[in-house]
Chains A and B, each alone.
Chain A
Amino acid sequence: MRLVTATGLVKSYGSGRAARRVLDGADLEVHAGELVAIVGPSGCGKSTLLHLLGGLDLPDEGSVELGGRRLERETARGLTELRRDYVGFVFQFFHLIPELTGEENVLLPARLAADRRAATRRGRKLIADLGLSEAARRRPGELSGGEQQRLSIARALVNDPRVLLADEPTGNLDEESGHHVLGLLRSLASGERAVVLVTHDAEAARIADRVLRVQRGRLEE
């Protein structure tokens, strides 16, 4: 079963002479149970691609289909539903809300879940599993990069999404916790679910089912 289908994605930034086509006809299919790693040099467009897949931005050309729904045809309400129930996003730069504590940040999506209680329980368990019990009580400004990263991962998983889009989720982690997080992602990518992972990490690439490279705005095996 295909969970994510992207065809002919084009995305440019800037205009006129400064215009730059970051993505230029990128295609991608992600199936249930798959863990896909996306690699490539800095600035090649990995984050851009992930944003498009998650419906956080719209492509100039091409289309993205999540669970059989074409993003560009969805209403604002439809996109909201998809982001709430279908996709989890781990940001490269965490984007925790500075005014809220770690735990409040993690449980933020739980407030939106259909089953709030279950989501909250899951969130608390993730906090414990990722070794964040201490960090959860403090504000992001007072946490280490790795702690913030793990909080951001926990937040993405609270609503138990079908597709997890993770932008360098181990970039700030030491070997051991990186290993732990990768194990978590690997176990997630089974059955009905899938994970798309942007990474510079050799280990991450090793455990992936497929590794795709962004080159000249396209994805290559």
Chain B
Amino acid sequence: MTLPGGLTASVRRLRVHPGRTLIAALGIAAAAAMLGAAVTVAYGLHTGFDRSARRADLPDVIARFDDQPQQRVDARLRTLPNLRARSYRREFTGVPLDANGHASQNGVLQAVGGGRRGYAIVAGRDLRRPDEAVGERGVAREWNISVGQRIGIGNARLRVVGVAVSPDNVAFPLAKGPRVYVSQSALSPRIGTRVNIALIWLNDPSLLDQTLTQARAASFGVGGLRFLTRAGVRTTIDQAAGIVIALLVAFSVVALCSAGVMLMASAQAEVERRLQGIGVMRAIGFSPRAVVGQHVLDAGVLALPAGAAGIAAGALVASRPSANLLESINELPPGAALLGPLALALLLVVLLVAGSAALPAWRAARRPVVSVLRRGELAPVSRASRFPAGFLGMGMRLTAARRGRAFATVAVLTISAAVVLAMLGMATLLNGLRNDPGLVGKRYQLTVNAPASEVAAIRRVPGVQAAAPRYVLFAADSFLLGESLKVVAYPGDHTPFEDPPLASGRRLRSNGEAEVGTGIADALGVRPGSELAIELPSGREVRFRVTGLVRAFDNDGRVVYTRPARLLAADPSLTGEIAVKLAPGADQRAVARRLFAGGHPAQRITGGTTRNASFLSVLAALLRAVALVDGLVCLYILVQALALTARERRSTIAVLRASGAGRREVLLVLAGAALVVVLAAAPAAVLLELAVLGPAVSHLAASYVSLPLHARAGQVAIVVGALLVLAVAAAALAGRRLQREPVVAGLRSD
């Protein structure tokens, strides 16, 4: 293959310094890997729901109601003006299912009628005959069911002909029950005509609200009617994956920006290293445009293959765990659709690198030729030197004198160290979400299992600031995920004990009012002013007026805050616990001991994320993959920056050696050269993480609360310490190499 002249020349130029070119290429590949992983995770998760909903042909509204003859429901539904299509299902829960030696008593069987299905077949085919079944992917995977095998449903055995995915729920085992579809004709004709789910597709989804109102009006006589909108499904699914996914996406976005800045800075530094060449080109008559063109071409020629390799590697590492996560929330991996964003990322890499090369080249090419040739990027001599005397200080001066290059290197180090710090902060946060109640909006630290009458006694215990009865119950009306609605009630103001931020509306003020978690409000279709009806475990229904929506982490936002009066009226057997808030500075253990001594054994509060162990491990795997890529990349970029700093001292070291400098002096100079960038970068990194990256991740992940995402002092110490050690190690390595070569070789390296 013959390349155009410019390209051949470019490749030839890059081959002149193979070592340096390799280091630069690896740096680009590393940052690109970070980008690739970030894009894979962020794109996959961010677009997961829409993509899967489209593939599965998810209806705009899912209506659930008590068993009805299908004709009766259809007669009403048909009248809706905005209706495009409809189909019906009958759902049975608590069905015994078994296959391959696995079994569940919690099976969900859905008998599907004709018309649109609302699920996507991902293996095998759809139902055709009464003796066939389609399994949901989660079950198929968990129970190792393949197409053609048989599955026991109650006392029948049906052949599994296909595997389906529908994002209307999270996947088994994250969802409690394994789900299987059969056709209506499989059921005996007597019940086959009865249905309890309607799937509704609209002509104009933007008119959803009106349609729901019309549907409610038309539903007279249909008991237990609940609507679940597509947006509601989405919220619920997102909530199931919780803050962790949001964090992951947010972190990926931040990693993406960081990788971009790092690419820019190193491309810039690369050109600064070649200023002499620019001076010579200008001197022999090249125009500024030609000079810039050449540097852009060189940068691009390097960035394209290196970027492609890096992005591919990053995507590869992140794709498996990211697909696993998507599977567990019943979403589909993007597949080939990911290629577009990845190609865009590659374009971004090439543009960033080439563009960043263009800028300093342009500036240099516009300067008078002689000043470039003579001074390069050196700043004018300043009289006062702030550096220590001796060879260490000399090394520092050598680096600091080349301002542009030093600045770019410091920028690269700063960002990579800050990303590592942000990652550590995130790990701490995730850990904390599981263990520290304060992080999830709980302001009490202990609970005592005692009747409300004991509150006064407990308040008197030293170290207790406040105590109040707290009632918790789970509304029996199990919603979508099989997890119920959590109702939390305090007799008075709940905010001293639990203070979820208000998203809209106001706090509750009377017994008949309630605040609803945003995690459930969308799905329930309530907003401030609406009426909320909940069904207690006893079967009694209680109604509240919704005064506000709150952003609560608890129970993934599926929470209702209210006062206990109406609950107790409906169910006098309801018992609460006593929430105990400690005085500032009081020791939790000491207070717990005192309470115990007074006859009130207390329990410590722990935080809560999604508690499903297997789901957490899927998340952890993905986090590890992303963290591994980003951590390694930052480490590499750090070492690279330090190695380059040491490497460009080659001729200086040769001069020093010719003058009689030995091992010690060479090492000191190199260490000084590396330390000065580290000393500048370390505080900048801590600041960047505290002031920019941490808040950015927090804001992107959950705009409604500020998550404590800053790295701890110990972690900062470790990172700064590691930076220093790396700087010295890089100096030592470079020093050893330079010591071994003849002095002349170093002198000729310029």
Which residue numbers of A lie inside 8 Å of B, CB to CB? Answer: 51, 54-58, 76-77, 80-81, 83-85, 89, 91, 93, 95-101, 108-109, 111-112, 137-139, 141-142, 155, 159
Contacts and interface: CB of A to CB of B under 8 A. Distances in A.
B374 A56 contact: no
A56 B743 contact: yes
19 contacts: A51-B744, A56-B742, A56-B743, A56-B744, A76-B663, A77-B662, A80-B660, A80-B662, A81-B660, A85-B660, A91-B747, A95-B655, A99-B402, A108-B656, A109-B660, A137-B381, A141-B374, A142-B374, A142-B375
Contact of B739 (A51, A76, A96): A76
Leading 5 A-B pairs by shortest Cβ distance: A84-B660, A99-B401, A80-B662, A56-B743, A141-B374
A171 B285 CA distance: 28
Given A81-B662, A111-B391, 9 more contacts: A56-B742, A56-B747, A83-B657, A111-B665, A112-B659, A137-B381, A141-B374, A142-B374, A155-B659
A112 B666 CA distance: 12
A100 B658 contact: no
Nearest to A156: B659
Given A95-B655, A111-B391, A139 B381 contact: yes
Residue of B378, B663, B744 with most partner-chain A CB within 10 A? B744
Interface residues of B, number: 32
Main secondary structure of the interface of B (DSSP, over half): helix
Contacts of B376: 98, 141
Contacts of B657: 80, 83
A127 B375 CA distance: 22
A55 B373 CA distance: 31
Nearest to A143: B374
Nearest to B398: A99
B402 A112 contact: no
B211 interface: no
A109 B378 contact: no
A132 to B, nearest CB: 15
Contacts of A141: 373-376, 378
Contacts of B401: 99
A108 to B, nearest CB: 6
A122 to B, nearest CB: 14
B448 to A, nearest CB: 70
B290 interface: no
Contacts of A83: 657-660
A84 B743 CA distance: 13
A75 B381 CA distance: 38
Nearest to A158: B659
A116 to B, nearest CB: 11
Residue of B375, B402, B652, B655 with most partner-chain A CB within 10 A? B655
A56 B658 contact: yes
Nearest to B385: A104
B283 interface: no
B737 to A, nearest CB: 13
Contact of B742 (A57, A77, A93, A95): A57
B735 to A, nearest CB: 12
Given A56-B743, A95-B651, A101-B381, A80 B661 contact: yes
B397 interface: yes
Interface string B253-272: 00000000000000000000
